[in-house]
Amino acid sequence: MQKVDQILVSIFQRSFKAITDEMSISLTKTTRSPILCEAKDFVTGLYDEKGQILEQKENLPILSFSLGPVCKMLIEKYADNIYPGDVIIHNDVFSLGNQNNDVAIFKPIFFEDTLIGWSAAKGHQADIGGAVQGGYNPNATEIWEEALRIPAVKIYEKGELRKDVWDLIFANIRLSMVQEDIKAQIGACSLGERRLEKVVEKYGIDSYRTHKQALFDATEKMMRAEIRTIPNGVYEGESMVYYDGKHVGSTFPIKNHITVNDEDIVFDFSKSSPQTNGFVNGTYTSSCSAITLTFLQMVDPNIPHNEGMVKPLEYIVPEGTILNASYPAATTFGNHLCPQIADSIFKALGPAIPKRVTAGWNHLLCSLFTGMHPLKDQKYVDICFLGMKGGSGALHGVDGYDHIGMIDASGGVLDQDYEMYEQQTPHRIIKHEYLPDSAGAGQWRGGLGVETEIMLGADHTKMVVFGDGDKQGAYGLFGGKGSILNKIELNYPDGQQLIPMSKDIIDDIPQGTIYHQIAGGGGGLGNPLNRPLELVIKEFENGIISKKEAEKNYGLIFYQNSSIPDIEKSKKFRNTQNRKA
């Protein structure tokens, strides 16, 4: 073993990071599906010869933490059968994939005949076969109704395309675009391969081995130091999932107990609800990703993302629960259990580290439109990202982030550009604005939600709805208030209104229908009466909060019959109210 050079440790870390960043840029520029190139619903990573994370570029965190486990599985599965030029494809949720649509490409990396690592790229594909285009099938009870299963299989061996395998896979996928996007992922992996080879060539294989281990150790030390700042104890938290797509009124609790013991932390979700027989089920790795990304929001954001970071985290997510459904359950909704998992963790750790947990985030409620563009005579698929992005929960000292969207992505998934949207779909956007009073009030308020109105521009539009948050809003914390509910409604041209369930498919929607969506805000934190008066007035003037909300929650008093705040009276009122409390 070589002697560790602290400086070289930093240099290796920077190199790994530069490589995964570059892979990510390459993927953004070359993919076609807007889900990838606009919304960046993908992740790139580098792993060592044992499948340990060297670095990841996590555009969409919920996808990220299943690549390492799959890489380890591949090493075991292929053992002596791994060659330079191999390319392996994988999506299977029953061999550690996180979601059927999230398809991963892995490429082994060699240096002078020795396996030194892997590059990987995983992205959410526009289609992956199954019964419903786009993959979200609220009617599914088994995986085959959702997607084509791809357990690890080589699509290239020793640099040769296995055309028969390729054809078999893509014969089962609706859109030819997916082939192009998979090619782009292979391209990104080849880039990562070339770059890592260069680094190892430059510093030597022994130095690489020594220093990546030292990097893991240093990172683990950072992570353990963070865990030490949480008082020892057993903490419990709970949240609720509403409706499985099958049984109206059904509910499914998510329950954890979290044990902190010095520098170890165990997340135990054993007491969560048993799995459902709909598609509202998590997979082991999507649930672990959700736990990890939530915990990462409570520690130093500059910790490098490698094996050392995840090593101190222990997960107990037993098979058969809603967070780790048994074969052959339907699981496409699993990524979207992340908000509930996050809620339960924040709630559990709130008493221990009150300044590091946020109030509730808005839970995703989303729709996906498919149909024909009459002017172009072309099929389109569009996930309505701009409508679904609600607010984040407030944190001690900081308001929630407005219109950030689901915690699974934490601001990594972007709105479509309005004008491009109107070119690519037949629909016209009527409104997309912050929704006043949508955030939970608090000394620090929640992030704002948005209101969206879209006029559908073609007959026979099909809409798939998936999500939650229409029964319970984001919760407030430490005296902060909760937020409003999510809502989707269709107002047909004939005057009828349809409010879909939170998991639903609506067919044959006519042209001229108005789609109306409310994405709620985040929960507030702390007593709203302690919010600085000048800030309350400013937000009232900016139309972020209404007069009614300002009076009711923030104790702002107006001169009679006017919209002019009476500052003196307001101050007095807020003081007496606070004293009473």
Partner 1 sequence: MENLNNYKLGIDVGGTFTDFFLVSDKGMTYMHKTLSTPEDPSIGFIRGINDLASKLNLPPDFLFEHIDTIVHGTTVATNALLTKNGANTALITTKGFRDALEMRRGIREEQYNNRYQNIAPLVIRKNRFTIDERVDAQGKIIQTVSVDELNTLVDILKERNIESVAVCFMNSYLNPDNEKLVTGYLRDKLPHCFITGSYEVLPSVRFYERVSTTVINAYIGIVVPEYLNALTQKLKKHHFKGRLLIMQSNGGVVTPEEACNIPAVTVLSGPAAAPVGAAYFAGLLGFENCITMDMGGTSFDASLVANGQCITSTDGAINQYRVALPTLDIVTIGAGGGSIGWLDSGGLLQMGPQSAGAKPGPVCYNLGGQQAACTDADLQLGYLNPDFFAGGTMKLDAAKTKNAIHEKLGVPLKLSNIKVASGMYKIINMNMAQGVRQVSVERGYDPREFLMIVAGGAGAIHAGEICRELEIPMFIVPDVGPIFCAAAMLLGDLKHDYVRSYMTVFNDIDKKYFLQLFEEMMQRGKTTLIQEGIKEENIEFTPILDLRYQGQYHEVSVEIPLEVILNFQLHLVSDLFHTEHNRLFGYSLEKEATPLEIINLRLRAIGITDKPESISANTSINTKTLDPAVALKNYREVYIPESDNIQKIPVYDGDALPGVCTIKGPAIIEQVNTSVFLGSSYNCQSGNYAALIVYDKEKFPDGISGNAYDELMKVHEKEEA
Q: Which residues, numbered 331-350, are part of the site for partner 1 (CB under 8 A)?
A: none
Interface with partner 1, residue 513, by CB under 8 A: no
In 312-389 the beta strands, taken as DSSP E runs, fall at 313-316, 365-373, 378-383
Residues numbered 129-168 forming contacts with partner 1, rule: CB under 8 A: none
The token duo for 378 is: 């072309």
The answer to whether residues 353 and 230 touch, using CB atoms and an 8 Å cutoff, is yes
Question: Which residue lies nearer to partner 1 by CB, 269 or 434?
Answer: 434
Question: Which residue lies nearer to partner 1 by CB, 183 or 460?
Answer: 183
Question: Among 27, 43, 9, which Cα is nearest to 285's?
Answer: 43
Question: Among 497, 486, 489, 557, which Cα is nearest to 521's?
Answer: 486
Dihedral sign (CA 262, 267, 268, 272): positive
Question: Which residue lies nearer to partner 1 by CB, 252 or 540?
Answer: 540
Smallest distance, partner 1 to C-beta of residue 552, A = 21
Interface with partner 1, residue 228, by CB under 8 A: no
Interface with partner 1, residue 477, by CB under 8 A: no
End-to-end CA distance of the chain: 64
Q: Tell me how far apart the alpha carbons of residues 259 and 262 are, in angstroms, rounded to a whole number.
A: 10
The answer to whether residues 106 and 87 touch, using CB atoms and an 8 Å cutoff, is yes
Smallest distance, partner 1 to C-beta of residue 4, A = 11
Question: Which residue lies nearer to partner 1 by CB, 422 or 459?
Answer: 422
Stretch that binds partner 1, among 25-33, 163-171, 270-278, 314-322 (CB under 8 A): 25-33
Interface with partner 1, residue 41, by CB under 8 A: no
Tell me the number of residues near partner 1 by CB under 8 A: 81
Interface with partner 1, residue 389, by CB under 8 A: yes
6, 22, 294 from 222: Cα distances, Å: 15, 26, 17
The token duo for 550 is: 């300002």
Question: Which residue lies nearer to partner 1 by CB, 130 or 405?
Answer: 405
Single out the residue of 417, 548, 563, 572 in contact with partner 1 (rule: CB under 8 A).
417
Residues numbered 185-214 forming contacts with partner 1, rule: CB under 8 A: 187
Smallest distance, partner 1 to C-beta of residue 9, A = 6
Burial class (CB in 10 A: 0-12, 13-18, 19+), 310: buried
Smallest distance, partner 1 to C-beta of residue 58, A = 7
Smallest distance, partner 1 to C-beta of residue 21, A = 9
Say which residue the tokens 């912050």 belong to.
434
Stretch that binds partner 1, among 102-110, 161-169, 394-402, 476-484 (CB under 8 A): 394-402
Dihedral sign (CA 403, 58, 151, 87): positive
Question: Among 324, 363, 407, which Cα is nearest to 518's?
Answer: 363
Interface with partner 1, residue 562, by CB under 8 A: no
Say which residue the tokens 């139309």 belong to.
543
82, 83, 212, 578 from 209: Cα distances, Å: 20, 20, 5, 60
Interface with partner 1, residue 6, by CB under 8 A: yes
The token duo for 568 is: 């003196």
Residues numbered 171-190 forming contacts with partner 1, rule: CB under 8 A: 177, 180, 183, 187
Window 431-460: contact mask with partner 1 (x via CB under 8 A): xxxx---------------x--x-------
Interface with partner 1, residue 411, by CB under 8 A: yes
Window 55-94: contact mask with partner 1 (x via CB under 8 A): ---x--x---------------------------------
Question: Which residue lies nearer to partner 1 by CB, 61 or 130?
Answer: 61
In 374-411 the beta strands, taken as DSSP E runs, fall at 378-383
Q: What are phi and psi of 156, to 5 degrees?
A: -130, 140
The token duo for 430 is: 């009527």
Question: Which residue lies nearer to partner 1 by CB, 149 or 403?
Answer: 403
